[in-house]
């Protein structure tokens, strides 16, 4: 078996600019994803709100019809 030679190259020093550029790159990706999710969440929230208002109206109307008193007026 042949043994692999260890990598003898000296890594370059990491500078502050390298770290800052990588963080900006990551932040840019996260910011774009957040903007995409905000739109979706807004649409879902509006749909839930509209559904809740319609359901409250429908159930309230149905309940009032069940409890409504019927008056009969007869002429004698």
Three-state DSSP at 59 gives helix
- pTM, whole model, 2 decimals? 0.47
Tokens representing 15 are 């500078």
Per-residue pLDDT of the chain in tens (76 residues, 90 and over written 9): 556 666 667 678 888 998 898 888 888 778 878 888 888 899 999 999 999 999 999 888 766 666 666 677 777 7
In this prediction, residue 32 carries a pLDDT of 79
Q: What whole-number distance in Å separates Cα of residue 20 and Cα of residue 25? A: 9
In this prediction, residue 54 carries a pLDDT of 93
């Amino acid at each position: 078996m042949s043994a692999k030679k260890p990598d003898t190259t000296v890594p370059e020093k990491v500078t502050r600019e390298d770290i800052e550029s990588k963080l900006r790159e990551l932040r840019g990706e996260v910011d774009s994803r957040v903007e995409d999710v905000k739109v979706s969440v807004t649409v879902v929230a509006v749909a839930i709100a509209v559904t809740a208002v319609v359901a409250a109206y429908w159930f309230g109307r149905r309940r009032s019809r069940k409890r409504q008193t019927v008056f009969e007026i007869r002429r004698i």
